[in-house]
Homo-oligomer: A and B are copies of this chain.
């Protein structure tokens, strides 16, 4: 397959159907390594669906039919049987902070433990590194053993990110990661996303154009399952090419 050297994820000719209903139409998109790529578009345009194809979370839904190719580092993810490996490589953070009802420590250690890391010291190290990576270490280091659900929304979401990081993934997918947070927590998570891009390739779905503008390097605009426009964020928001993009981002849509 032709492969962009800089691209971490190559999506070609992707079609996705829920039953007979086509939710994604011939998507072609190369997502750049160590960049933040934002997916924007009106509700129901397929952002989440697209995001979830990238780590095959759509497998959980019945009646989904997928055509086309998605390559991570040149390897077609729908050719492998080993979804576990894929999901380890492509982590995900969800709209609502969805920490398990366990201690902070156990939450972050969940992934490594699942994958067989048993050694206490190693786990300690992973947990610490991940929490530091998610810029939340200082805030929680003194209460790693207390329940994670006692934290504020923004802290929880950063722990979710730490939990994802603990798997040492290469790509982190985020589906509206701040839509359940207040503005201040949102800001913190946005700052974190910016920091993370040095080490990870990040794809983020957001309803909030301002957020896309703030955090992303590239932005993709979806509409009715189509990828309408995909380019550098700063160009996208100052000078989009497609009339529909223009209308959407200036609030003239619909």
What is the interface of chain A, defined by CB distance below 8 A to chain B? Answer: 42-43, 182-184, 187, 207-210, 251, 253-254
Q: When the two chains form the complex, which single residue of B184, B251, B253, B254 contacts A253, counting CB atoms closer than 8 Å?
A: B184
Q: Please classify the interface of chain A as helix (H, G, I), strand (E, B), loop, or mixed, using the class held by over half of its residues.
A: loop
What is the copy number of this chain in the assembly? 2
Q: When the two chains form the complex, which single residue of B182, B251, B253 contacts A42, counting CB atoms closer than 8 Å?
A: B182
How far does the Cβ of A104 sit from chain B's closest Cβ, in whole Å?
Answer: 21
How far does the Cβ of A236 sit from chain B's closest Cβ, in whole Å?
Answer: 16
Query: Given the complex of chains A and B, what is the CA–CA distance between A210 and B187 in angstroms?
Result: 14
Q: What are 8 A-to-B residue pairs whose CB atoms are below 8 Å?
A: A42-B183, A43-B182, A43-B184, A183-B208, A183-B251, A184-B253, A184-B254, A187-B251
Task: Please tell me if the beta carbons of B184 and A42 are within 8 angstroms of each other in the complex.
Answer: yes
Note all chain B residues with C-beta closer than 8 A to A209.
183
Note all chain B residues with C-beta closer than 8 A to A182.
42-43, 207
Note all chain B residues with C-beta closer than 8 A to A183.
42, 207-209, 251
Query: Given the complex of chains A and B, what is the CA–CA distance between A97 and B253 in angstroms?
Result: 22
Query: Given the complex of chains A and B, what is the CA–CA distance between A253 and B183 in angstroms?
Result: 10
Closest to A40 in B: B183
Note all chain B residues with C-beta closer than 8 A to A251.
183, 187
Closest to A180 in B: B179
Query: Given the complex of chains A and B, what is the CA–CA distance between A253 and B251 in angstroms?
Result: 28
Query: Given the complex of chains A and B, what is the CA–CA distance between A251 and B210 in angstroms?
Result: 13
Note all chain B residues with C-beta closer than 8 A to A184.
42-43, 253-254
Closest to A214 in B: B251
Note all chain B residues with C-beta closer than 8 A to A187.
251
How far does the Cβ of A241 sit from chain B's closest Cβ, in whole Å?
Answer: 21
How far does the Cβ of A177 sit from chain B's closest Cβ, in whole Å?
Answer: 16
Query: Given the complex of chains A and B, what is the CA–CA distance between A207 and B182 in angstroms?
Result: 7
Note all chain B residues with C-beta closer than 8 A to A208.
183
How far does the Cβ of A200 sit from chain B's closest Cβ, in whole Å?
Answer: 24
5 closest A-B pairs by beta carbon, nearest first, are A43-B182, A184-B254, A42-B184, A187-B251, A183-B207
